[in-house]
Structure 1
């Protein structure tokens, strides 16, 4: 627990500048203002020595007292002015802009990073980075930085100034430093563990909470909503244990530091009294010293808590930096746009990260322009991987993928995806109106164009029956609509996009007969004059395909039309016959 390396103040400063990015100069300026403010404040406190020495001396001079009092007031006003300038960073739009810029930067990274890297993160973890971690990384740049500079600079300035006034009192003030430094490092080690593990525990709890809420219908069905929701229960327990250790780790050093300050106060009082008895020190100097110690005791006591904010910042920014450091896709030299939309895989090898076995191996295939190609095969055969690589989910470790004889690595991701429409088996709709969900296919489309796409996808009839028509909100993930209705909206979106390549991930497999007919009619409109790729599970639905690819263990074992493959009586034939036997079994079961 205590093996965490404590970052130096220099490293913390460098991290702060990295977080600020293009606004680094604003942060530096704010820090400079705070430093100047507390230098002048320290000098003002140091002048209490000559002021009170003059007041308690037998040769009291009103003129000298007014001079020192005036000097203290002027230094205090200058300190206030610079502190006001430094604090302006917190209350102006600058710190908000840094927060905004960092979130925009993270958002751009999420939009462009390879999906394989993105899928390593759970939704709750990304939420935690974008919300909690960003705020925690920038928290210290405002008022907290002022508090930090106060407890760091004011004592240093006072001690240095006191050396010129009375070296013996300066030495008395220095007596606590050899004790305070090990307490400080001990505390930082403990709080660094606490902050790092606490952020991890919060992120995991957020991810498990989202997963639990999204899966609640299933959990209710299997009666696992309470104590048996194991993952969520473990996350809650883990956070509790981390917080318990963190409270103990941060409280004990703070108690010791407070005790040390009290000891210093008593030590100075006793030492000063002895000096006064021996006529080596004045009452005024002792009173001034005790006033200064009293003023500094609270911020010094809070020093460990303030420096703990640096650990929060660094632990949060570590998660942000890890996301920002993900390498984006390499874009080769731009070439001309494809004139046709045939798709070729040339000797492609691909393995998912962490897997030693290739999901695709030495894969060669040709998908003709303006044709319907179906990909069939058992689970894990590479069907979905083929479509993912066409959309550049990630780059293959070997080989080329081309659209219209143009390497897809020569295209920007936005350009590549402008050529492709996808209808997934599991449809995702945003918690917005039906109109806006369809319009996502072409954001600048008019209402008339959206309506035409809706009618082509056979959506218009059921949408018209809804209380607010196209202005009806679909709920989170489209939860207020049936599966068939969600599928037709996603097809309307694809029709509106009008991309030359269409990828269908068995969009009718989970639908009832009536919905399947409606969706199939919508698909017929979508795939007209397109290069279409269908991932098929029910072979009867792709008998009319121009080409059927039979995938197995990352290879294409067979290809041809339905009749050609059927006549071969090999893998495709065996799969077709097996599905027919299942159908017959279902019919006989229903008769019984």
Structure 2
């Protein structure tokens, strides 16, 4: 879409039907009732013509005046009843249901979205889409839809009726249209650009705000609270500038529309007065026309304001549709399940989106079931990427990954992930009880099963010392626990899941010696009779592995047992020797 291109009203209507989902028919009915209501309102206003003519006729006939007064009342009642029925769509909770529906669909889309795509979104950006963008998308479906139809249908009805009274008055009233179209286009172009920019600015602000709050303890520790708040201040200023610019630009069309309405009224009085002096138009008819146009000036002046709401909706819904447009990873054949849990990589190459360098290049190896394979190498060599590929973070551009002889492209996410437990270096715990954080791995687990898993992970003791034991709420990201305690709870979760494949991503790298010993005991319990992939930095922790892969720039450059690789005196040997020298240096020191 070009920067200044805006979505047509018809396209917005189609978007609205898409938003409405299974409430589409109810929304259409509400629009029909609103249209009927405003036709009735327009006819009620139009009754001023015959009513005033009857009242000021040379021979006053009461029955004629009462007839037109009664018709005015009838059309008003019809308008009121139809408008009441039209608002049923809003008042009965349909808009709330639609908002809930959209958020539910967004949740499903996020669950199915490839993690590679999901990682490109900041938390604050997703939060903005889930909260404000959803609300903005459905904002126009209630009161705003009613206001828009009123602004359009009432004047059209009056102009059509005026043609039957005096075509010249109708043409004079119509003079507003050719001049209002450029104002409409001006306003829409400006609003469209401003709304897109505002949504972008707001998403950046939410992302920076969440990042700042989450990192506040770190910022305080390094006395950089004010310095690192600069990004947040810049984001706030950016939103402020976008709002100011939009407000300034948006006011000019508003002012000009008001001037246009006043000019139309003056032209109507001047030209109509000329017709009256020439005895080709009655003063009563002109007076009725002036009253009607005066009555229409307020809703017509609101026209541009109501239109801008559609641009808000359009911009917001496009951000939502961008989420929906991301396709889940396809299951290439019929959904299969693996019966055994050996893992094979066959000539796997993978490059991250928008990157030139391959993260993995022609990687091939085989892991027998119930064996341990360690992956080592310098930072950025592809260790974590390799483990992500097993969990189908994304599909490789070349090659295949199989579990039990089944290509993981032929498994849905549920069948794949039920077989895999992961213990990350950076543990994420939820702001919930310890019991629920562990039970997450097996929702139907009993309290006793959770406790047994905690005992196996050597965390039952410290949990028992907490004020409310397993019912203790551990705070955002598990902030009330130490690193070692959080790690052991994540291992308890993995033990409870009891998946046949376990991936360990440097789970002890950031721990102190005492915590590392406790966590290592928990890991030993977790790994019993499992197929294990270990990403390791300290080579001493994986010296007993059945197979060790040495990665360098995304390629497997060595493979074998610890003893074989040391004897080869190549890359692994250099890494091992360097770590041994560090230990000796520490002892000598």
The TM-score with structure 1 as length reference comes to: 0.97
Q: What is aligned with 2:378?
A: 378
2:547 and 2:559 in contact (8 A); partners too = yes
Q: What is aligned with 2:20?
A: 20
Q: What is aligned with 1:572?
A: 572
SS in 1 for 2:361: strand
Q: What is aligned with 1:305?
A: 305
Gap change, CA 1:190 and 1:561, over 3 Å in 2: same
2:219 and 2:228 in contact (8 A); partners too = no
Q: What is aligned with 2:508?
A: 508
1:56 and 1:283 in contact (8 A); partners too = no
Range with greater deviation from structure 2 (121-130 or 326-335): 326-335
Q: What is aligned with 2:416?
A: 416
What is the rounded CA distance, in whole Å, between the counterparts of 1:394 and 1:26 in structure 2?
A: 41
1:55 and 1:284 in contact (8 A); partners too = no
Q: What is aligned with 1:202?
A: 202
What is the rounded CA distance, in whole Å, between the counterparts of 2:161 and 2:282 in structure 1?
A: 18
Q: What is aligned with 2:56?
A: 56
1:159 lines up with 2:159 in the alignment: yes
What is the rounded CA distance, in whole Å, between the counterparts of 2:448 and 2:563 in structure 1?
A: 42
Deviations 1:17-47 (A, max 9, x none): 2222232222222112111111121112111
SS in 1 for 2:458: coil
2:378 and 2:552 in contact (8 A); partners too = yes
2:335 and 2:412 in contact (8 A); partners too = no
1:430 and 1:478 in contact (8 A); partners too = yes
1:227 and 1:233 in contact (8 A); partners too = no
TM-aligned CA deviation for residue 341 of structure 1: 0.3
1:346 and 1:400 in contact (8 A); partners too = yes
1:42 and 1:158 in contact (8 A); partners too = yes
2:348 and 2:398 in contact (8 A); partners too = yes
Deviations 1:520-554 (A, max 9, x none): 11111111000011000011111111111111111
Q: What is aligned with 2:392?
A: 392
1:127 lines up with 2:127 in the alignment: yes
Gap change, CA 1:213 and 1:144, over 3 Å in 2: same
2:350 and 2:359 in contact (8 A); partners too = yes
Deviations 1:128-183 (A, max 9, x none): 11111111011000110000000011101110111012212111211221211111
- The number of aligned residues is 589
What is the rounded CA distance, in whole Å, between the counterparts of 2:214 and 2:544 in structure 1?
A: 38
Q: What is aligned with 1:314?
A: 314
TM-aligned CA deviation for residue 359 of structure 1: 1.1
Range with greater deviation from structure 2 (468-477 or 548-557): 548-557
Q: What is aligned with 1:234?
A: 234
Q: What is aligned with 1:453?
A: 453
1:20 and 1:27 in contact (8 A); partners too = yes
TM-aligned CA deviation for residue 275 of structure 1: 2.7
Deviations 1:472-521 (A, max 9, x none): 11100000000000001000000000000000001111111111111111
Range with greater deviation from structure 2 (427-436 or 251-260): 251-260
1:430 lines up with 2:430 in the alignment: yes
SS in 2 for 1:32: helix
TM-aligned CA deviation for residue 222 of structure 1: 3.1
Q: What is aligned with 2:217?
A: 217
TM-aligned CA deviation for residue 347 of structure 1: 1.0
What is the rounded CA distance, in whole Å, between the counterparts of 1:501 and 1:478 in structure 2?
A: 25
What is the rounded CA distance, in whole Å, between the counterparts of 2:279 and 2:582 in structure 1?
A: 107
1:99 lines up with 2:99 in the alignment: yes
The unaligned stretches of length 5 or more in structure 2 are none
SS in 2 for 1:226: helix
Q: What is aligned with 1:440?
A: 440
TM-aligned CA deviation for residue 281 of structure 1: 2.3
2:342 and 2:366 in contact (8 A); partners too = yes
1:422 and 1:503 in contact (8 A); partners too = yes
Q: What is aligned with 1:177?
A: 177
SS in 1 for 2:365: strand
1:115 lines up with 2:115 in the alignment: yes
2:197 and 2:242 in contact (8 A); partners too = yes
Deviations 1:427-456 (A, max 9, x none): 000000000000001011111111111111
Taking the TM superposition and a 5 Å limit, the aligned residue runs for 1:327-338 are: 327-334=327-334, 336-338=336-338
2:336 and 2:410 in contact (8 A); partners too = no
TM-aligned CA deviation for residue 334 of structure 1: 2.5
Gap change, CA 1:55 and 1:587, over 3 Å in 2: farther
The unaligned stretches of length 5 or more in structure 1 are none
TM-aligned CA deviation for residue 336 of structure 1: 4.6
What is the rounded CA distance, in whole Å, between the counterparts of 2:326 and 2:135 in structure 1?
A: 21
The TM-score with structure 2 as length reference comes to: 0.98
What is the rounded CA distance, in whole Å, between the counterparts of 2:24 and 2:361 in structure 1?
A: 48
Taking the TM superposition and a 5 Å limit, the aligned residue runs for 1:269-288 are: 269-288=269-288
SS in 2 for 1:452: helix
Gap change, CA 1:336 and 1:328, over 3 Å in 2: closer
TM-aligned CA deviation for residue 293 of structure 1: 1.7
2:265 and 2:293 in contact (8 A); partners too = yes
1:372 and 1:547 in contact (8 A); partners too = yes
Deviations 1:82-121 (A, max 9, x none): 1111111111121111111111111101001100000110
2:337 and 2:415 in contact (8 A); partners too = no
SS in 2 for 1:352: coil
1:500 and 1:530 in contact (8 A); partners too = yes
* RMSD, aligned CA: 1.5
1:543 and 1:562 in contact (8 A); partners too = yes
1:335 and 1:406 in contact (8 A); partners too = no
TM-aligned CA deviation for residue 369 of structure 1: 0.3
What is the rounded CA distance, in whole Å, between the counterparts of 1:73 and 1:577 in structure 2?
A: 97
Q: What is aligned with 2:83?
A: 83
Range with greater deviation from structure 2 (491-500 or 167-176): 167-176
